[in-house]
Structure 1
């Protein structure tokens, strides 16, 4: 069974049917009708989807993990760890960062370290000198749902024997088919562009991060050209 599992790819999955679902069948999400008053005082309504999985006493649903693979002895520079995973709602394999729901009594940083190890096998640490190591609470699609995420920045020391190829021990759940791979940070935009051309869907968190890096490069160049 293990050999067979190792040959399976997220691209082998496909949607076979789509049909309406009764609310009492939903395990993970529910629909809500929201009544509210707009700034003029007029009564209005809004349709919203809500997760049913948020942990008790938590204000955050999930974490996304920005995992940077770093080997100071390598000439290739730091890389970002990404994943390929089939997502039925878009009927495509998406390019994502490792991510997962926060467990009961767990803080986002702890959830990020746990999820990374479970999905990829990598052992990571959160850099103490990074201002944005634990990001804002970000609302994924506030016009549609109340789902939110915290992006956690972690470093993976590739000189640690536990992070060497052959020593990684992912602990994926039944039904999870995830391929992990890395892209050099200095070529992230170009490689994502090629992946999109190849038919992959780019997750908004990954795409926004890559675009932000390109914006930062441009404006750094502009600032560097200012007269001193």
Structure 2
């Protein structure tokens, strides 16, 4: 099924009693001058008790040890998203389960969404600090988990995703060094760019331009 065949049929107000994933709240606070103000925002309803995050984003880098000269490729996805009525270029991602570590969540989501088996990068780069997607609007947050995918492993020879019946995801990869240019091309062709992908692309381009 082509993702581009999806379309929004209607949009209507949602009664808060029907909300399963998020709700709207009004926060009353005082500003630095002591003035009382209010703020409208959204809150996630799915964060497990005891967890400091809602989910993870996965930076999965494909590597072939048998070809050491080959350049690293980043695993991306195309997925139509109703809120923006567009097919979005994304990294694998998902909500964290109760008592699951961010690393476990990332490995599981990568396997379920793409079929690939990944390994968390050693050291402090494997798990990012907690990041808030849009703190002026929502308390949703995540950690970015960095994985490598060894293409020589038997499990990664013919990856088969385990998608849910409401998931229609197309997985592909591009050279990591071309991420910025590819994002520009995707936008020209009518795709929306997830902020996590765009931020990664900017980081790669900044490192190249300023020779970091």
Give the TM-score, by structure 1 length: 0.90
Q: Deviations over 1:65-117 (max 9, x none)?
A: 00000013345411000000011000000000000000000010110000000
- Extract unaligned runs of 5+ from structure 1: 1-7, 222-228
- Alignment of 1:92 onto 2:86: yes
- Alignment of 1:121 onto 2:115: yes
**CA-based RMSD:** 1.1
Separation in structure 2 between the aligned mates of residue 57 and residue 174 of structure 1, nearest angstrom: 29
- Alignment of 1:199 onto 2:193: no
Q: Which residue of 1 aligns with 2:128?
A: 135
Measured after TM superposition, the shift of residue 9 of structure 1 is 2.2
Q: Which residue of 1 aligns with 2:153?
A: 160
1:63 partner SS: strand
Q: Which residue of 2 aligns with 1:213?
A: 204
Q: Is this contact kept in 2: 1:70–1:157, CA < 8 A? A: yes
- Deviating beyond 6 angstroms after TM superposition, the runs of 4 or more aligned structure 1 residues are none
| Selected match of 2:48 from 40, 55, 59 | 55
Q: Deviations over 1:34-87 (max 9, x none)?
A: 000001001000001001000111010010000000013345411000000011
2:13 partner SS: coil
| Selected match of 2:5 from 5, 9, 12 | 12
Measured after TM superposition, the shift of residue 176 of structure 1 is 0.3
Which is greater in Rg? Answer: 1
- Extract unaligned runs of 5+ from structure 2: none
Measured after TM superposition, the shift of residue 152 of structure 1 is 0.2
Q: Is this contact kept in 2: 1:76–1:184, CA < 8 A? A: no
